[in-house]
């Protein structure tokens, strides 16, 4: 009788461990999830697309440059990724709406992950910025993230567990001697992430911001050497970060 009891107890414990393990795998698995990554053909966005697709996520991305987008889609197809893409100028209100209609159609009106990655910088002293520079930064960096989040809300809510990640910058937290408009948009993005995390928690939608420092991208290459060297000198690693390092955090 004791042997039978011990045998039954061991089976129960084994089954409980199996159930716990399956629950853990399910919780951390991205298989079957859907994602929109804005600006996914280069830099951090490209790395995020490949990171998510590598974990089995069905990803849609967008870019302004059609030829670059097609090159990336061809490359990703060879890797076996589940990826689609659209040409979209994220600074345009109507093009953002058109993109989200496409995403809704592709993913049956359910979106698991929204990565607000698209962004741009014109590095100038404040007194040299024009009205067009101001509008460019606001529409590309901040308005696009705000509007994409609004448009994605019903699809994120429909999954029962939606996630928004804003690709911000340390420029939204620290102070710099140039690029005041860019820094302001990233600071506003950080606050937007906080607000949406609070406001949309009731809909089971999480919102977070990732704020990288200097990352080895084409945007970094365009910065002034003195500014870049000053930034790198403050880093314990003594180098710029890599897009893949940001993607793994996302």
Which domain does 17 fall in, by range? 1-29
| Distance from chain centroid for Cα 51 | 11
Are both 14 and 64 inside the same structural domain?
Answer: no
How far from 169 is each of 85, 91, 105, 175, CA to CA, in Å? 25, 19, 32, 11
* pLDDT, tens digit (0-9, with 9 covering 90-100), for 31-79: 889 999 999 999 999 999 999 999 999 999 999 999 999 999 999 999 9
Are both 11 and 118 inside the same structural domain?
Answer: no
Are both 149 and 165 inside the same structural domain?
Answer: yes
Q: What is the pTM of this model?
A: 0.85
Total domains, the chain? 2
Tokens of 117: 């990655």
Tell me which residues of the chain have a pLDDT lower than 70. Answer: 1-28, 216-233
List the catalytic residues.
182
**Residues in Cβ contact with 17 at an 8 Å cutoff, skipping those fewer than 6 apart:** none
Q: Rounded to whole angstroms, how far apart are CA atoms 233 and 186? A: 22
Are both 55 and 148 inside the same structural domain?
Answer: yes
Are both 85 and 103 inside the same structural domain?
Answer: yes
How far from 125 is each of 17, 177, 217, 245, CA to CA, in Å? 60, 7, 22, 30
Are both 37 and 159 inside the same structural domain?
Answer: yes
């Amino acid at each position: 009788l004791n042997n039978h009891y011990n045998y039954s107890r061991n089976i129960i414990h084994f089954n409980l461990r199996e159930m716990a393990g399956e629950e853990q795998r399910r919780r951390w698995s991205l298989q079957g999830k859907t994602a929109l990554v804005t600006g996914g053909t280069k830099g951090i966005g490209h790395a995020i697309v490949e990171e998510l697709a590598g974990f089995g996520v069905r990803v849609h991305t967008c870019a302004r440059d059609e030829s670059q987008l097609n090159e990336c889609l061809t490359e990703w197809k060879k890797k076996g990724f589940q990826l689609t893409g659209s040409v979209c100028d994220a600074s345009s209100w109507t093009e953002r709406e058109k993109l989200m209609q496409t995403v809704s159609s592709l993913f049956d009106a359910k979106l698991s992950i929204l990565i607000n990655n698209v962004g741009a910088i014109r590095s100038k002293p404040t007194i040299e910025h024009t009205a067009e520079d101001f509008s460019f930064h606001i529409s590309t960096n901040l308005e696009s993230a705000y509007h994409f989040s609004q448009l994605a809300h019903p699809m994120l809510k429909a999954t029962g567990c939606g996630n928004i990640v804003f690709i911000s910058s340390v420029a939204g937290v620290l102070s710099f001697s140039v690029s005041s408009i860019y820094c302001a948009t990233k600071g506003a993005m950080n606050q937007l992430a906080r607000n949406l995390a609070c406001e949309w928690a009731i809909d089971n939608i999480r919102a977070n911001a990732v704020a990288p420092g200097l990352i080895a991208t084409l945007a970094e290459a365009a910065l002034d050497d003195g500014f870049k060297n000053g930034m790198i000198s403050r880093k314990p690693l003594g180098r710029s970060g890599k897009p893949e390092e940001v993607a793994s955090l996302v």
